[in-house]
C-alpha cells in the first residue's frame, strides 16, 4: 500500500472514531461528538481537532498529497485532540487507572490512527 492509501484509511478511522464511544460507563457510551455537542467549557472543542485533522488529511490525500498543512502537523493536531481528554481528566484529579477502564473503542481507534499518522511516514 502506498502512502496516499494509508493516509486515506487513517483519516477515515480518525473521523469515524470521533463518532464512536470515547467513554463507556454504566453501560452507556459517549462519543467525542456528544461531548462537543454537549457544550460546557470552551476547551472541550479541542476534541474536535482529531476529526478536523482527519478531514484535512483525507482532502490532502485525495488531492495527490497536496495538504493544506503538512501531513505531520495534521497528525500532531489529531494526536493533541485525542490525548486532550485523558490529560485534562488527570489534571482535574481523575484516577488514571479508572480513566483507562472507561475509555471506549472510538478513543482507542482514534489514538492508534493519530499515532500512525505521526510516526508512519514512508518514502513514496
Count CA within 13 A, CB hemisphere, residue 65.
Answer: 8
Residue 62's Cα: distance from chain center in Å? 20
Domain coordinates in residue numbering, the chain? 3-119
Question: What tens digit of pLDDT does each residue of 5-52 get?
Answer: 988 999 999 999 999 998 887 878 888 888 888 877 777 788 889 999
Question: What tens digit of pLDDT does each residue of 49-99 get?
Answer: 999 999 999 999 899 888 888 888 999 999 999 998 888 888 888 888 888
Question: What tens digit of pLDDT does each residue of 108-124 get?
Answer: 999 999 999 999 877 76
Count CA within 13 A, CB hemisphere, residue 8.
Answer: 12
Amino acid at each position: 500500500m502506498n502512502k496516499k492509501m494509508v493516509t486515506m484509511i487513517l483519516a477515515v478511522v480518525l473521523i469515524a472514531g470521533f463518532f464512536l464511544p470515547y467513554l463507556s460507563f454504566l453501560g452507556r457510551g459517549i462519543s467525542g461528538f456528544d461531548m462537543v455537542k454537549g457544550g460546557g467549557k470552551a476547551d472541550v472543542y479541542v476534541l474536535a481537532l482529531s476529526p478536523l485533522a482527519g478531514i484535512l488529511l483525507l482532502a490532502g490525500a485525495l488531492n495527490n498529497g497536496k495538504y493544506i498543512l503538512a501531513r505531520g502537523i495534521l497528525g500532531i493536531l489529531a494526536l493533541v485532540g485525542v490525548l486532550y481528554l485523558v490529560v485534562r481528566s488527570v489534571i482535574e484529579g481523575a484516577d488514571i487507572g479508572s480513566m483507562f477502564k472507561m475509555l471506549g473503542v472510538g478513543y482507542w481507534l482514534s489514538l492508534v490512527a493519530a499515532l500512525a499518522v505521526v510516526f508512519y511516514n514512508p518514502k513514496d
